[in-house]
């Protein structure tokens, strides 16, 4: 009898995915790309690929209903899926929604959740085409899968970055993490003294980044109009440090990121200092930004350089040079991923 027991914590989330992946190989020629990117890629016709991705949100792990409005949760659940299609340079088309819900919920609560789903469907022009509903004895579980489409020559993977490519990121980083820290702090205060009113004014931006993030389909449409096809791309779900390292590892390259180029919103910056956190660490490792992190060829630099919502934060280098963060004082230190620990 085999009595070996390996703790999930010993593998971590990415180790577990690699472990699962190592036991499977693709059998169908229509399966173009399996495990390992933001979405799977499936043959569709002579010119197009179908993209497929799934993401799950679990109450108590990914969201806390004591401070999460249900319409925001519905919007976010769709947006995080759409973000994975964006990260392939794809256009989202359809979603299906699996819900496990307890009798704690009323019809009105479900309606509120679907109000947010509908807002996201309208924003991203996706159709809700099905799903599954079941009861839950613990919390709310939301599982959404999204189908998208892209042209054969316009699918962008994580494993195709090349030395000298420029590293770009959209929007700003770390605000969603700091929004969460503020919500958690105010929850603790309220639980100790329910007469206390939460101090959230002035922090609307970072709270919205946590509670109702969007997906950067606007950027995908703009890049398509400018005929800029990134050389590699991922969406920032775990933190830019962790996510650039996915690109580097899979592309077999190294990277240099410049600390002073990392985009941080002013409210996020001030909130970090107030909470005695390092703003740069929050921006690099916070996660849940749902911005796009991509690499472009130097020849596309002119098209991108003046874009108000795209920051050029570093460059790809040979793997032998490693993964580096160039600090404000010019020191080169190892870029490390803290990311999220799930187990």
Binding-site residue set for ATP: 114, 131-132, 158, 237
Pick the piece of the chain touching ligand ADP (CB under 6 A) from 30-38, 67-75, 142-150, 306-314. 30-38
HSE on the CB side for 68, CA within 13 Å? 27
139 binds, among Mg ion, ligand ADP, none (CB under 5 to 8 A by kind): none
List 38, 55, 238, 324, residue binding Mg ion (CB under 5 A)? 38
Instruction: Quote the CA–CA distance of 170 and 231 in Å, as a whole number.
Output: 15
Strands 127-135 and 91-101: parallel
Which residues are part of a known binding site? 38, 53-55, 62, 84, 114, 131-132, 158, 235, 237-238, 288, 340
CB 338 → ligand ADP: shortest distance, Å? 15
CB 326 → Mg ion: shortest distance, Å? 26
35 is an interface residue for ligand ADP by CB under 6 A: yes
Nearer to Mg ion, 38 or 289 (CB): 38
Q: Tell which positions 179-238 bind Mg ion, by CB under 5 A.
A: 235
Please name the residues in contact with 103: beta carbons below 8 A apart, sequence gap of 6 or more.
135
Q: Tell which positions 59-88 bind ligand ADP, by CB under 6 A.
A: 84
Mask: binding to ligand ADP, 194-233, rule CB under 6 A, as x and -?
Answer: ----------------------------------------
Q: Which two tokens stand for residue 328?
A: 């404000």
Which residues are part of a known binding site for substrate? 62, 288, 340
Please name the residues in contact with 74: beta carbons below 8 A apart, sequence gap of 6 or more.
112, 113, 114, 115, 116, 117, 118, 119, 120
- Classify residue 63 by its DSSP letter: B
Please name the residues in contact with 26: beta carbons below 8 A apart, sequence gap of 6 or more.
34
CB 84 → ligand ADP: shortest distance, Å? 5
Could you give the 3-state DSSP secondary structure of residue 225?
Answer: helix
List 36, 69, 139, 163, residue binding ligand ADP (CB under 6 A)? 36
Could you give the 3-state DSSP secondary structure of residue 325?
Answer: strand
Is the Cβ–Cβ distance between 296 and 315 less than 8 Å?
Answer: no
Instruction: Quote the CA–CA distance of 329 and 184 in Å, as a whole number.
Output: 34
List 8, 9, 15, 17, residue binding ligand ADP (CB under 6 A)? 17
List 37, 55, 59, 84, residue binding Mg ion (CB under 5 A)? 84
CB 55 → ligand ADP: shortest distance, Å? 6
Nearest alpha-carbon partner for 214 in 83, 69, 55, 113: 83
291 is an interface residue for ligand ADP by CB under 6 A: no
37 is an interface residue for ligand ADP by CB under 6 A: yes
Alpha-carbon 123 to chain mean position: 18
Instruction: Quote the CA–CA distance of 313 and 167 in Å, as a whole number.
Output: 6
Q: Is 188 exposed, middle or buried, given 0-12, 13-18 or 19+ CB atoms closer than 10 A? A: exposed
Contact positions toward Mg ion, by CB under 5 A? 38, 84, 235
Contact positions toward ligand ADP, by CB under 6 A? 17, 20, 35-38, 55, 84, 237
């Amino acid at each position: 009898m085999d009595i070996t027991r390996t703790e999930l914590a010993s593998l971590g989330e990415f180790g577990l995915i690699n472990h699962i992946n190592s036991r499977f190989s693709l059998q169908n020629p229509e399966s173009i790309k399996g495990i390992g990117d933001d979405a799977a890629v499936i043959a569709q016709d002579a010119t197009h690929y179908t993209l497929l991705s799934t993401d799950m949100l679990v109450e108590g792990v990914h969201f806390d209903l004591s401070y999460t409005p249900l319409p925001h949760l519905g919007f976010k659940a769709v947006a995080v899926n759409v973000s994975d299609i964006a990260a392939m340079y794809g256009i989202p088309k359809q979603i299906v929604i699996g819900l496990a819900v307890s009798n704690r919920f009323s019809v009105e609560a479900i309606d509120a959740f679907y109000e947010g789903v509908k807002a996201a469907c309208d924003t991203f022009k996706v159709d809700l085409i099905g799903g599954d509903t079941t009861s839950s004895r613990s919390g709310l579980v939301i599982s959404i899968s999204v189908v998208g489409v892209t042209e054969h020559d316009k699918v962008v993977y994580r494993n195709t970055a090349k030395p000298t490519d420029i590293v770009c990121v959209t929007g700003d980083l770390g605000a969603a993490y700091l929004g969460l820290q503020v919500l958690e702090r105010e929850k603790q205060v309220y639980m100790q003294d329910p007469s206390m009113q939460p101090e959230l004014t002035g922090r609307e931006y970072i709270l919205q980044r946590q509670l109702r993030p969007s997906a950067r389909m606007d950027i995908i449409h703009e890049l398509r109009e400018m005929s800029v096809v990134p050389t590699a791309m991922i969406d920032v779900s775990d933190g830019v440090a962790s996510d650039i390292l996915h690109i580097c590892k899979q592309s077999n390259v190294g990277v240099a990121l410049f600390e002073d180029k990392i985009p941080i919103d002013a409210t996020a910056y001030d909130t970090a200092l107030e909470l005695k956190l390092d703003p740069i660490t929050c921006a690099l490792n916070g996660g849940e930004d749902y911005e796009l992190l991509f690499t472009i060829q130097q020849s596309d630099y002119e098209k991108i350089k003046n874009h108000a919502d795209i920051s050029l934060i570093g460059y790809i280098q040979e793997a032998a040079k490693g993964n580096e963060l160039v600090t404000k004082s010019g020191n080169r230190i190892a870029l490390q991923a803290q990311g999220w620990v799930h187990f």
